[in-house]
Structure 1
Amino acid sequence: MNKNIGSKIKKLRTQKQMTLKDMSEKTNLSIGFLSQLERGLTSVATDSLEKIADVLEVDLTYFFIKPREQNNVIIRGYEKEVFEIVNGKEINYHLSSNLKDKEMFPRMVDILPGNEESSQFNYTGEEFIYVIEGILTVSISGYEKELYPGDSMHYSYKNIISKDGEASKVVNQDHSFFNRTSKMVRVLVVSTPNPYK
């Protein structure tokens, strides 16, 4: 359990390009304690984990929910599980029953109306987005694009979308999802690397 929580903290901290010192200053927890926590060498009290969750912009439940370990390669529509809720307005569902030996990380994301606070990620992998329902606004390195039902987007850390929709090369990029409409947005997202591998 401690190792699983620690690896999730390290993954999120790295995505946000935060050092242990940055996190220590924001949570009032020592660098030594945070380092041991990330390596699974110590346990953490709920109130301390809540401080970490606030800094990393995830719900506390993110650290405890994990995908089911099954050999079944099929998940029925009624079997998909919520694994993360971000800011109370972005609901992430697992679309795979066992992610430990997979390269891709597939998920369905429901973004509730008026979501202007989507978490920002510094992305270093590859991502495919397909809009199932609603109008999704994607911000990548400062450029915004609206995607409509049936639209898709596929990019890697080497691409950035320019104003005219063309891709050019960069080392990495910040990206965010938004729902600026009055209706729910539902998207299929498949990305690498898989954080559960």
Structure 2
Amino acid sequence: MAIHGRSPKDDGGDSGSGAPNGRLGEALRQLRRQNGWTLADMSERTGLAISTLSKVENDQMSLTYDKLTNLSEGLGVDITYFFSAQPMEPPPAMAVMARRSINRTGDGEHILTRHYEHWYPSADLSHKRMVPIIAEPKARTLEEFGELLRHPGEEFAMVMEGRIALHTEFYAPVILEKGHSVYFDSTMGHAYLAADDGPCRLLSVCSGTESELKRLVSSDTPPPKPRSSSPRKKP
């Protein structure tokens, strides 16, 4: 999808004798172990360097507010998680969360970008572990699309309507018909192009956090235009 990545930096905050941010190190280590992440996984999600995250976990570095914001958004938790007075125990293994979200036709948050028209179903659920997106590609050629896009995580996509041309950084282009699907590493540059005269639409499911995906997508958002609130349908 229309997501640009960002490179980790080693300037995540202030090191030295300054006091750490509350129980940040303990909370970060707990969250990483709870989700089975490595420091590299968290670096990819947050844009902070592995060395920075290691120092934070070991209470050797404090973070500035903007870096704390990157951390909370990238890891899908509220920023207050890192400052709770009492340690927050992870849920027991196989805990039943009982979350459910039903989507009717036209439901979801609508975002228009240069490359795609997006609908985000299940907008009533926060902190989702996967992000479903209905997308309609706008470009029909790579020249029109521009630079291939990339974002952390992995992606599954299935064509719902029309034909989609998938271009990726390391593979030859492929045409996907209605009902065809693909699973790929979305850190690899990629682009979906419309390959049919009529409407072309696909369902994409991305790993990662919805807040991070939307934040990165916003830089590709043009001025809004009047339109129907639901995806187009064939006559």
Q: Do the aligned partners of 1:106 and 1:188 also contact (CA within 8 Å) in 2?
A: yes
Question: Which residue of structure 1 aligns with residue 203 of structure 2?
Answer: 188
Contact 2:101/2:125 (8 A) holds in 1? no
Give the counterpart of 1:76 among 98, 101, 104.
104
Report how many aligned residue pairs link the two structures.
126
Q: Larger Rg: 1 or 2?
A: 2
Q: Please state how far the C-alpha of 1:129 moved relative to its aligned partner.
A: 0.4
Shift of 1:144: 1.0
How large is the RMSD of aligned CA atoms in angstroms? 3.3
Query: Map of 1:72-151 to 2, 5 A cutoff?
Result: 73-82=101-110, 84-87=111-114, 90-112=116-138, 114=140, 116-117=144-145, 120-142=148-170, 143-151=172-180
Q: Which moved more, 1:187-196 or 1:92-101?
A: 92-101
Unaligned runs of 5+ in 2: 10-63, 70-98, 213-235
Shift of 1:95: 1.1
- Once residues 139 and 185 of structure 2 are traced to their aligned partners in structure 1, the CA distance between those partners, rounded to angstroms, is 28
Aligned-pair identity in percent equals 19
Alignment partner of 2:210: what SS?
coil
Letter of the structure 2 residue corresponding to residue 98 of structure 1 = D
Structure 1: 5+ residue stretches without partners: 1-11, 20-34, 41-70, 158-171
Q: Distance between the aligned counterparts of 1:94 and 1:76, measured in 2?
A: 12
Output aligned runs, 1:18-97, within 5 Å.
73-82=101-110, 84-87=111-114, 90-97=116-123
Q: Is the aligned partner of 1:175 residue 2:190?
A: yes
Change (3 A) 1:140 1:94: same
Q: Distance between the aligned counterparts of 1:130 and 1:156, measured in 2?
A: 15
